[in-house]
Structure 1
Amino acid sequence: MKVPFKALVVAASIALLGTTLGAAAPENDSSPVQEGQQARSEAQVEPYGASLFRSTPPGPGSAITDPNRLVSFGDRILLRIWGAQQFENLIMVDAEGNLFIPDVGPVKVSGKRMSEVQASIKAAVSDIYRDNVSVYATLADVNPISVYVAGNVVHPGRFEGTQNDTVLDYIIRAGGIHPGAGSYRDVDVRRGTFVKASYDFYDFMDQGILSEFDFQSGDTIIVNDRRPSVTVAGGARNTNAFEFAAQQMTGKTLVASADPLPGTTHALVRRTADSDSKDIYLLMKDFSGFQLKNGDEVYFTRDAKSDTITVAITGAVEGQKNYALKKGASLKQLLSFIAVDPSVALTNAIHIERASVARAQKLALNQSLQRLQKEATARSTTGAAASIRASEAQVIRGFVESASQVEFPGKVILARGGQVSDIILRDGDRIVIPEKSDVVTLTGEVLISNAFVFEPGLRVKDYVMLAGGLSGNADRERFIVNHPNGSSQIVGSETVVANGDQIIALPKLDTKGLVMAKDVLEIVYQLAMTANAVVFP
């Protein structure tokens, strides 16, 4: 049974608010949750361009009346000659592309429009009958051709049409592109073993460009596999699934096709393809250069007055993961609307990951690394000591390079005395609700990094023994324990471990071999405690 966080707040009402950003709030004006638009689920979102194949393909009659249609083999032309000579008959264009007129001879008409055919026949007749002869020619019947449509279409097969029908016409006859498997950006026309034309229907959707192609009987249209794609779930005129043109797609490319609604200021990118799903909230100017990934879901929003913030919830919670809140909303206000299963969620270990804290931690780390590297390269000695210092500087450079790659989650610790403190939320906050765990993990300077079933009363050294013991380079006196609530401690080997803890066995640096060992060790501890990262020279 899922219940609100009664230990934290007096719940107004239990409400799972949908699955989209900015779901509807209760009528109480004091609620931090604002009304918003309902996004469509991914299952309901059609591929961009699906509407192209809902029309009816043209029949042969449209080809007869089309003044731009090119005459081809098998077409029948009604020819009338009157005046000094009288003639009327249906004449078929032969395999050489000629129209044979008695007493005149063959006239080349294949590949010409009917207006051009009329002029060609007139010129040929006038060479024989120079005076008082008039000519009229019209297309009476067209020769159908058979084209195969294969690949990811609803009804693959052979379909009749005309030489000048478009690739869209033939795919419509095949029932359209399969919405879950076919590509709207990778369609080939094959003649034998050769690809004679390739189509990207986004060119037609966005710019109205569709190249003409003269089909022949036996040609094959292949609809290839669907490419990686992202879904626009709301806030745009075109809420569809959009395929990548290449291996990557930027926000700018997506905006060109999706056409966000007027006044759009932000884009929310819900990334679920990674092992750890996350939500990224960007200003449109930042979204323009943002690299999208296959499976991303994008929601465009308008936040012109800046009176709202967006927060995400991760961990032991189901249902809605993203909320648009009024500025000034607190954690406890938000939690009153979140339903969890208390048998699964560790409600006394809730903490926040905040971008501003992460930036500050990253800045502090970079400053420490810069000072460390500056000191390592500034030391000036001679003789054997110079060689030692050069070797030390090389070690420091490697350490600095590795440490600079670490990213901080920006943890804000809220747990105190078994209770979670209230806090005003900020835009982009990520609220972490840890799951209860019966596992203790051990990493770092141990023989076998592993996870072990929690046993009450076991100490750090007991779990070290389960991992095969410490490595020869380990610090045997001090360990770091990271707790599920985001906090960390430096402990000894006799410390009793709680369920869900992470134990990190750190290296023991040689203070004789490394002059700046103390400075390095401070950074090692900083990374282990704030970023759960083990980095050492």
Structure 2
Amino acid sequence: MQCKAGRLKKAALGLFAVLLAFAPAGLAQAQTISDVLSRAAPAQTVTERAGQATAAEGGPVVQSAIGQKSLIVKPDPFGASLFTNTAAMSSDAINPEYVIQSGDRISVSIMGGADVTAGGAPSTPQSIVVDAQGNVFLPDIGPVHVAGMRADSLQPAVAAAASRVFTSRVNVYAVLETTHKVGVYVAGYVLRPGRYGGSASDSALDYLIRAGGVDPSRGSYRNIQVLRNGLTVYNIDLYQFLLTGEKPGALLREGDTILVGEQNAMVEVAGAVRNAYLFELPGREAPGSEIIGMARPLPSATNAAISGTRDTKPYSTYLTLGQLATTPLRDQDKVIIVGDEPAGTVRVRVEGSRIGPSYLVLPSDTRLPAALEQINVNPALADKGSVYILRDSVAEQQQRVIEEALDRLQRQLFLAVSPTASVSTIRASEAQLVSTYIEKARRSPAEGRVVVTNTSGQIADVRLEEGDVIVIPARSQTVLVSGEVLSPQAVLWEPQMKAGDYVKRVGGYSERGRPGKWMIRRANGEMVTRGKGDIRAGDELIILPYIDPKLFQIGVDLTSLVYQVAVASAALNGLNN
């Protein structure tokens, strides 16, 4: 048993050493598992970049337009947003293009005639209804035919009729007062077909909105007819209204029918475009130029991947945008626009002790040593030999490892078999506690640190990637003592001091600390085990914990996982070198 416990203790200490080799600065100051997790920052939103560059050099990149949401969500049909709001109430304002019909009401005022009141004021306006013959009867003038006349032509027509009866000293003012209400039928592929009432000045779009709009899965936005007495009066293409502002047809009359036709071929467009929607073609087939004009590819777009069905068989092809313009597209095709030109430059950010710009735009094959030559620093303040890189691709790998470890721990936690009822009760309590820790661990974002210097301070000839962050630590005159000590803190560096001397300066070992169990973390993230390097200014001296061999295996696994989470996490707040 002692031999087995010793092997368990040795294995646990070895695991701590490996995990701490990648842990952020200040991690080992934590005294318990709760201390480690409590230092994690709150959940942070990870920026999604749809279509990151592939592993292949110059792989296709799908970028969304500025201000556009993620392209992963399936797009809506182009034009569906017209029907997201409730229908507007009919307006009392008279449309100048309105054609006067029987039943409309006209207001007439005569100035200078026999009906003039005392003091020369005009007579009280009279409200006259257009009769069934389309006439209005004006006092002292007689009938005037106004049906079929536009509202803006009413005043000149009435004035001309008055001039044939009265002298120039008598003026007549006529204006359309109210229009009659009409009932219009909305049929075809709409959500709520039926008869809808409204003003004669309402457009076909108003009635479509009242009917719930075009059915997005069956109805056509481009094949809408207005029928009158069984004949087509005009056709409506809502795409013309959306793209050019062309108003959808003339005014409607009582008994007109708006018929929404069956949906034409639909093509989905996504990727590097400003308008990522489902577009309806004018018919069963259309050239790609039709889609290019509506989707508006971004300046970075160069190619298009098309997938669909031809002759009942799966079909796919990859074309340039020029080839896409002449390629016929059919129903249910999907077009993904990408930028497939390899970037000639990379953009990197510079942080830490530097002089000059914080961004560098370099050729895509630039190596780290060449980039450092373009960064000005103050040698007295910057530790250029301890530079390191923060890389998104490495952070993603670390995050994936964390998630896999958490999943394994969760399976082990809930699938463990308890030999007795008392052990089962204890494990249930432990499971609830560990589940809380797991949820906190999942919210710890990875840092993605890459160590690029060796023990002698030489910088690796590593190629820079887009989005890399070059960090140049500042020179330090202290050594951070953390881990299993009574008072973790920074101590002034002295060349003749050893590890035990630094521990004495911070009050000695804690209950779980033991002499000789320590590691060194360099400013660049490199880990040095005991006996393989001297303590330097800017280092962190980590006192490793003593592992009790009597601990349950799940406790060892949990402790290992917590350290592994903290290894890749940039959210733990500790003193940096």
TM-score, normalised to structure 2, is: 0.45
Q: Which has the higher contact order (CA 8 A, sep 6+)?
A: 2
Higher Cα Rg, which structure: 2
